[in-house]
Amino acid sequence: GDSVTQMEGPVTLSEEAFLTINCTYTATGYPSLFWYVQYPGEGLQLLLKATKADDKGSNKGFEATYRKETTSFHLEKGSVQVSDSAVYFCALSDGSSASKIIFGSGTRLSIRP
Amino acid sequence: KAGVTQTPRYLIKTRGQQVTLSCSPISGHRSVSWYQQTPGQGLQFLFEYFSETQRNKGNFPGRFSGRQFSNSRSEMNVSTLELGDSALYLCASSLAGTAGEKLFFGSGTQLSVL
């Protein structure tokens, strides 16, 4: 079945460092890909999404490009801030429903001032 | 506009008991879905309700059930609780649950089973 694999955490960076969180997927069709973020004590928020190959999703300085040839959707940010500390989830949807989402295991990111 | 509201925020139960969790979606949203989040299994889809009918279901035993009311509010019930049911239960709503729609998540109910 469909699945998502993302890099193990925790990831600890200094403020203004470059961030990459790797994500690869396995899917039989043409899924939509997402990055969700979960701040402490809160639910998930959609950070960005891409619905077809070569699409780039972006939001709040974060970017991710849907790479069909490498089945990847890596999350990047050029200069992280302390406020970016959270857990990040890569996810896919097979397109049958908004709710049937398959999530990766999550990557905890901590940013040092 | 109020967000997705889940109550209670925390619950402590003992094995064998049953529990009911509540979710109020964003006004106008008719699709409500439920997820279980645990450190070991991560985030897993439980089920989705739309117009008072269960439309999609994940791979969970029959002890996990839900319902949706005419005002779109939803409840989730877990019977005969097991230690492994300890988790953060998240609810999400969307306008119609159509593929591509944005999901809005609540802050969750943290269930501890002793």
Only one residue has tokens 């953060």, namely B88
- Cα distance from A102 to chain B (closest Cα, Å)? 7
B62 touches chain A (CB under 8 A): no
Q: What is the mean pLDDT of residues A7-30?
A: 93
Indicate the residue of B42, B103, B107 with minimum beta-carbon distance to A98: B103
pLDDT of residue B99: 76
Chain B segment 92-111 residues within 8 A of A by beta carbon are: 92, 94, 97-103, 105-108
pLDDT of residue A97: 79
Whether the pLDDT of residue B100 is over 90: the answer is: no
Q: Given an 8 Å threshold on Cβ–Cβ distance, is B99 in contact with A95?
A: yes
Confidence label for B109 from pLDDT (cuts 50, 70 and 90): very high
pLDDT of residue B114: 96
pLDDT of residue A98: 79
Q: What is the mean pLDDT of residues B89-108?
A: 89
Which distant-in-sequence residues (6+ apart) come within 8 Å of A5 by Cβ?
A23, A24, A25, A26, A104, A105
B4 touches chain A (CB under 8 A): yes
Nearest-angstrom CA–CA distance, B62 and B102: 28
pLDDT tens readout for residues B37-83: 998 888 999 999 999 999 999 999 999 999 999 999 999 999 999 99
Confidence label for B1 from pLDDT (cuts 50, 70 and 90): low
| Percent of chain A's residues with pLDDT above 90 | 80
* Mean pLDDT of chain B, nearest integer: 94
- Does a cis peptide bond (omega within 30 degrees of 0) precede residue B8? yes
Q: Is the Cβ–Cβ distance between A81 and B86 less than 8 Å?
A: no
Nearest-angstrom CA–CA distance, B52 and B25: 13
pLDDT tens readout for residues A67-96: 999 999 999 999 999 999 999 999 998 877
Residues of B in contact with A39 (CB under 8 A): none
- Cα distance from A2 to chain B (closest Cα, Å)? 13
Beta pairing partners, B12 = B112
Nearest-angstrom CA–CA distance, A107 and A91: 12
B74: tokens are: 């939803």
The helix (run of H) or strand (run of E) holding residue A20 is strand A19-21
Indicate the residue of B42, B56, B102 with minimum beta-carbon distance to A97: B56
Indicate the residue of B31, B44, B108 with minimum beta-carbon distance to A99: B31
pLDDT of residue A110: 96
Nearest-angstrom CA–CA distance, A82 and A71: 30
Confidence label for B85 from pLDDT (cuts 50, 70 and 90): very high
Q: Quickly list DSSP for B40-86.
A: TTEEEEEEEEETTEEEEE-S--TTEEEEE-TTS-EEEEE-S--GGG-
Whether the pLDDT of residue B9 is over 70: the answer is: yes
Nearest-angstrom CA–CA distance, B114 and B103: 32
Q: What is the mean pLDDT of residues B99-113?
A: 91
- Residue to mutate among A7, A37, A99, A102, with most B CBs inside 10 A, is A99
